[in-house]
Amino acid sequence: MARLFSPRPPPSEDLFYETYYSLSQQYPLLLLLLVIVLVGLLALLAVAWASGRELASDPGFLTTMLCGLGGFSLLLGLASREQRLQRWTRPLSGLVWAALLALGLGFLFTGGVVSAWDQVSFFLFVIFTVYAMLPLGMRDAAAAGLASSLSHLLVLGLYLGPQPDSQPALLPQLAANAVLFLCGNVAGAYHKALMERALRATFREALSSLHSRRRLDTEKKHQEHLLLSILPAYLAREMKAEIMARLQAGQGSRPESTNNFHSLYVKRHQGVSVLYADIVGFTRLASECSPKELVLMLNELFGKFDQIAKEHECMRIKILGDCYYCVSGLPLSLPDHAINCVRMGLDMCRAIRKLRAATGVDINMRVGVHSGSVLCGVIGLQKWQYDVWSHDVTLANHMEASGVPGRVHITGATLALLAGAYAVEDAAMEHGDPYLRELGEPTYLVIDPRAEEEDEKGTAGGLLSSLEGPKMRPSLLMTRYLESWGAAKPFAHLSHVESPVSTSTPLPEKALSSFSPQWSLDRSRTPRGLDDELDTGDAKFFQVIEQLNSQKQWKQSEDFNPLTLYFREKEMEKEYRLSALPAFKYYAACTFLVFFSNFIIQMLVTNRPPALTITYSITFLLFFLLLFVCFSEHLTKCVLKGPKMLHWLPTLSVLVATRPGLRVALGTATILLVFSMAITSLVFLPAASNCPFWASNVSFTASNLSWELPESLPLISVPYSVHCCVLGFLSCSLFLHMSFELKLLLLLLWLAACCSLFLHSHAWLSDCLIARLYLGALDSRPGVLKEPKLMGAISFFIFFFTLLVLARQNEYYCRLDFLWKKKLRQEQEETETMENLTRLLLENVLPAHVAPQFIGQNRRNEDLYHQSYECVCVLFASVPDFKEFYSESSINHEGLECLRLLNEIIADFDELLSKPKFSGVEKIKTICSTYMAATGLNATSGQDAQQDAEQSCSHLGTMVEFAVALGSKLDVINKHSFNNFRLRVGLNHGPVVAGVIGAQKPQYDIWGNTVNVASRMESTGVLGKIQVTEETACALQSLGYTCYSRGIIKVKGKGQLCTYFLNTDLTRTGPPSATLG
């Protein structure tokens, strides 16, 4: 039983719970209680009038009735004002209880002779409703219940104690009354404890559901941010469906398709302009930077460029080292896309000029722009990056490469679209770029109208460098200056998670600070200004709390049928009825208490006939068997020590809790046992009237007449049989989770049985008792409530309707509790799915070991993510033949089918990453038909430096095997597509800097001389071979691989380098030839 009284929650939750509790549960019950009392009083008047009693002859009774009607009408009027109830909950409840107590005492001393059994049922009603229907706490209710019990016992004891001996024995009756009141208090407290526990659980589940919804909303926002950081909105919806399918099929796998091709998310757009920009002199500057300075510098620079792009309606596509390219006219067509790109290019050059003027650092910006059409979208399965492809994109790239530092280099197509908006001059140079030379078309340099003004205002010598002193490194000067630009940090939105998502914050803070129990949760009654103070989350909180109001059960609902309270979804209704009920054993235990109380009462007021004793003995045995079945799981340790044949006994209680049919059968049988034993003492009496006090010769002076009938049954047991029947009604209410229709059936059955018994078949017993009480007073008739049969009938109907109201309320809250639990489970599952989806999205942008840095609960994103590594192997693998294969014609849908084949190549390469042996390979990006990957990035910072050379570079072997696997994949594609593509691979290893840059489209990348040389190893390589540097060749030979020298070759930016080809036979010795396909 102690488990029923859960610990008190934090005060903040108590504040909301108490208000919700008084509104949703106790407020309608209080109104119904007052209505039941008023209807009962009117019914009492009607019965008195119908039975021919002269009300005027009993002014005390009439006065009590009129005062009761007036007082309870006034209380009903006060309670109907919901706002008043919230402000004066305890005083109003105290008034209702005092009025009920006064009414009971008034009935006790009016209407006839005062007896020890008088108004016991009414006081039992007061005691039970104090717990079940008044908005009082458990302590207040217990105090009121005990006070009601003691008042009845003390008043009758003091009043009847000095009476003559003609009254039946007083002490057994008072003891029986005490047992009845004790049972009523325990049953009421039990009912209240169970209901409070259920209501508090529902309330907490509602709050948890609110938190889950907020968390779910936050996760959805994160997904939108993440998707939009990778893709434009028009592609995000399609791609999200793809991710969800992958998530359901299993992480890393792709859903089954109706064909053999991977999904292609590429579309053609015409009328766009492409801008390529490269920072001249940045490579030399970057070599002098620390990792933190490099990442900060890149983030600030490209953050500034992103801001410029947003201002000029351009979309950044990708960052390649220090190269930045974007498109105007995507995803929506823009008539002035060419002007947008030119303006952006001029602003980028202007920003770099200001940077150079302020710091004195020798860097510049080279920009190329071309207008035409593009294929845009995403290819591959991992590390999605929105990209563009077409001959026009290639031309824009070459325009940048052959441009002039500090100028915007445009083609004739772009010039035609400018429509004279800018003055231009001929490039007037022979193109060193073979691609442009082959085209033979004139190109132009845009004249910046603001360049001359800036030159006049220019700051010679570098303002910041002169202030900071000549000894400061250029990279540090750059960093100091760029910090003033204040570019946003990558994934900054992920660090501002709303506090209600955390389960440690139980309630919205603003709601707590602006809410008091005096105010209704009804939004129409919220004090002025409160709506303005509450944020959206708090508004949702109030909406959720309003859904818990029990008055909603009578209104149309998406979940419930307002009449039957059945769930509208048949599956949910079935699930509810089949749900487990571990608390059933407590229901049975409390019902046994009612049964035991009936037994004690009948033992006190009867002569304990043998038949009654035998019947109770059998019933006790049945009850003990039932309780043993219900509590058998608690006897597991004892049973397991006994014979093996009894080891199955503990499973009985599990069966009862989980099998609805068995549970209903046992519950019904338990209640029927209580019913039957409540009237057992009357069953043994004949239905024929045989009362000795009706004889005409009986004198009122015959005070020595016995109070017993000829069958030795005391007459005083008749009203106590009525009280035992009332306890039978209470036993129905103890099964909180019993269905309403079954309770209604049992209550109707019991009402019919009791009324037929006391008003028809055994009504003569009541008449006989009245005849004994009023010996000689032939013209005197007792009041309605002084006659046991009428008193019993009125009590039966009052308890019937009261318990019916509580049964309906209990049914509603049991179903509501089930519904919220189900909603909470669904929302938690959905939230978990969304969190997994967010994780997959983030890991599609960042490596798995970097993603937690941005989604950790304690991450505040105060610093940019950067990491330096001592030994990373970088791979560039390209399919150079694809450039020749790519063409744009109507046959291949302007190049779309060519990209479909490239998508298959890249996707097959990506599928290799899901193999366990390549778990250390991290895809960095794709650049057209070039695949960039690295190993050694998941090592802890500084870890490689502490290891010896062989261990620190052991992952080079993984990269070699990956390169060979790429060649094998390409061979399979060649076989199916009837092509003869060959792979050209470049490898290099050494120190790199990794980091995440870009706020609008965060991108993970690696930088350093190692990366640059690896790229040159690929671009200067040979088809079908893996070219490596001399240092990498030595490291690979130490791992057992064979390399042979290619000789000295010229490498752009590096001069003369001795390079090697790797023998991919994977043997220590072998022939000097290694082909990948």
Active-site residues, by number, are 1016, 1052
The dihedrals phi and psi of 362, each to the nearest 5 degrees, come to: -85, 85
| DSSP string for residues in 184-245 | HHHHHHHHHHHHHHHHHHHHHHHHHHHHHHHHHHHHHHHHHHHHHHHS-HHHHHHHHHHHHH
The dihedrals phi and psi of 409, each to the nearest 5 degrees, come to: -100, 120
Give CA–CA dist 1039/201, Å, rounded: 63
Which among 543, 537, 529 is positioned nearest to 509, based on CA atoms? Answer: 537
CB 1063 within 8 A of CB 1042: yes
Give CA–CA dist 816/1014, Å, rounded: 64
Alpha-carbon separation of residue 915 from 256, 841, 912, 918, 998 (angstroms): 19, 20, 6, 6, 30
Give CA–CA dist 1075/1024, Å, rounded: 4
Q: Which residues, 6 or more positions from 602, have their beta carbon under 8 angstroms from its beta carbon?
A: 612, 616, 680, 681, 717, 720, 724
Alpha-carbon separation of residue 754 from 638, 721, 790, 793 (angstroms): 43, 10, 12, 8
Crossing angle of the two packed helices 660-678 and 651-658, in degrees rounded to 10: 90
Residues facing 847 on adjacent strands: none
Check residue 322 and give left, alpha or beta (phi > 0: left; psi -120 to 50: alpha): alpha
The dihedrals phi and psi of 1054, each to the nearest 5 degrees, come to: -120, -10
CB 578 within 8 A of CB 727: no
Give CA–CA dist 246/129, Å, rounded: 58
Place of tokens 């002569």: 607
The conformation of residue 998, written as its DSSP 8-state character, comes to -
Structure-derived torsion over alpha carbons of residues 211, 215, 217, 223, reported in degrees to the nearest 10: 180
CB 138 within 8 A of CB 192: yes
Kindly state the tokens that stand for 960. Answer: 């070699």
Give CA–CA dist 198/195, Å, rounded: 5
The distance from CA 813 to its chain's CA centroid, rounded to whole angstroms, is 21
CB 879 within 8 A of CB 983: yes
Report cis status (omega within 30 of 0) of the bond before 331: yes
Give CA–CA dist 442/428, Å, rounded: 9
The distance from CA 83 to its chain's CA centroid, rounded to whole angstroms, is 33
Alpha-carbon separation of residue 963 from 60, 385, 883, 918 (angstroms): 106, 22, 21, 11
The conformation of residue 488, written as its DSSP 8-state character, comes to P
The dihedrals phi and psi of 424, each to the nearest 5 degrees, come to: -130, 165
CB 81 within 8 A of CB 67: no
Task: Return the exposure string of 849-872: e unless at least 16 CB atoms fall within 10 Å of the residue's CB, then b.
Answer: ebbebbbeeeeebeebbbbbbbbb
